[in-house]
């Protein structure tokens, strides 16, 4: 049985990003790619369980070159996302899921010995409640990205709309850690204040909550709140911000406290946001950014 520090589960996808200004960019994407690359670059042993068409496996090559062990669950097609930024506000996005690889089944997930499992879905077309319950039974530490339920795909238009998740309290109670961004937090809790939103999500039974927004990230654990501002000079690499930040937090959290882990995640994702690609930096670069800009 293979062993690793973090196993990421989700669709691998092809992505077309249309910025407010400038040419469109097409590249492999997904939450698992951004998260796994960040964790691997800072020295963690990482595995990815991706559902996709085997014909597109070459898009996994960057992860494989980074030492990430990849497992492909075959699907008829690879998920394809189109993301349009209609304004200069990088947090305003129109999303369409043009193709979908289908829901995960727990029997298809390899029996990895992982210290932590993160369910990094793109939309509500990946994880069912039965899958979450089965993963909870077979893992010792589990987290999920709430975009996996808030981003809901219209079967006719393929447009991704943001809406409340009816099973949100049940989902939260199953998790050791939970990831949200400011938009998802507002939709799920009705609260604009991310600290109040984190307290509300904590009350649903999840012991550790991380919420990102354009200016920084918040962590809530053990009845306490931490907040750390980002230090990026530009936002050209905004896509994958939350996935990268949470993966960095998970990786650092294995050996450090909440406050230290949040500073580390903020430093790493600040570097990532300055370049439109998954994180390509080093652990030394992140630690230097922590010292220089995050009081670490």
Q: Which of 234, 222, 218, 220 is nearest to 266 (CA)?
A: 218
pLDDT band of 276, cuts 50, 70, 90: confident
- Position 28 scores a pLDDT of 87
Contact 165, 171 (CB under 8 A): yes
pLDDT in tens, 70-82: 999 999 999 999 9
Annotation: CATH topology of 3-293: 3.40.1190
- Position 267 scores a pLDDT of 98
Tell me the angle at which helices 31-41 and 258-272 cross, rounded to the nearest 10 degrees. 110
- Position 140 scores a pLDDT of 95
pLDDT in tens, 92-112: 888 999 999 999 999 999 999
Q: Average pLDDT, stretch 114-134?
A: 98
The residue with tokens 């530009």 is 234
Q: What is the dihedral of CA 165, 169, 171, 177, to 10 degrees?
A: 120
Length of the chain measured in residues: 296
- Position 1 scores a pLDDT of 66
């Amino acid at each position: 049985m293979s062993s690793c520090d973090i196993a990421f589960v989700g669709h691998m996808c092809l992505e077309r990003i249309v910025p407010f200004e400038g040419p469109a960019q097409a590249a492999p994407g997904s939450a698992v790619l951004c998260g796994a690359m960040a964790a691997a670059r800072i020295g963690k042993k990482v595995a990815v369980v991706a559902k996709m068409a085997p014909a597109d496996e070459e898009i996994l090559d960057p992860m494989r070159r980074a030492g990430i062990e990849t497992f492909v669950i075959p699907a008829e097609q690879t998920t394809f996302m189109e993301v349009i930024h209609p304004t200069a506000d990088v947090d305003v996005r129109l999303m369409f899921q043009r193709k979908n690889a289908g829901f995960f089944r727990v029997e298809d997930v390899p029996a990895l010995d992982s210290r932590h499992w993160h369910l990094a879905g793109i939309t509500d077309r990946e994880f069912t409640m039965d899958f979450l319950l089965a993963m909870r039974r077979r893992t010792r530490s589990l987290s999920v990205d709430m975009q996996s339920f808030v981003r809901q795909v219209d079967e006719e238009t393929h447009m991704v709309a943001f809406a409340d998740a009816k099973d949100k309290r049940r989902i939260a109670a199953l998790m050791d850690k939970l990831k949200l961004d400011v938009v998802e937090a507002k939709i799920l809790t009705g609260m604009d204040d991310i600290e109040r939103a984190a307290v509300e999500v904590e009350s649903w039974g999840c012991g550790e909550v991380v919420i990102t927004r354009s200016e920084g990230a918040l962590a809530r654990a053990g009845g306490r709140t931490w907040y750390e501002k980002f230090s990026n000079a530009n936002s050209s690499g905004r896509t994958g911000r939350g996935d990268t930040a949470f993966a960095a937090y998970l990786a650092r959290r294995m050996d450090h406290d909440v406050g230290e882990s949040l500073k580390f995640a903020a430093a790493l994702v600040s570097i990532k946001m300055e370049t439109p690609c998954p994180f390509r930096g080093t652990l030394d670069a992140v630690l230097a950014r922590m010292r220089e800009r995050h009081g670490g």
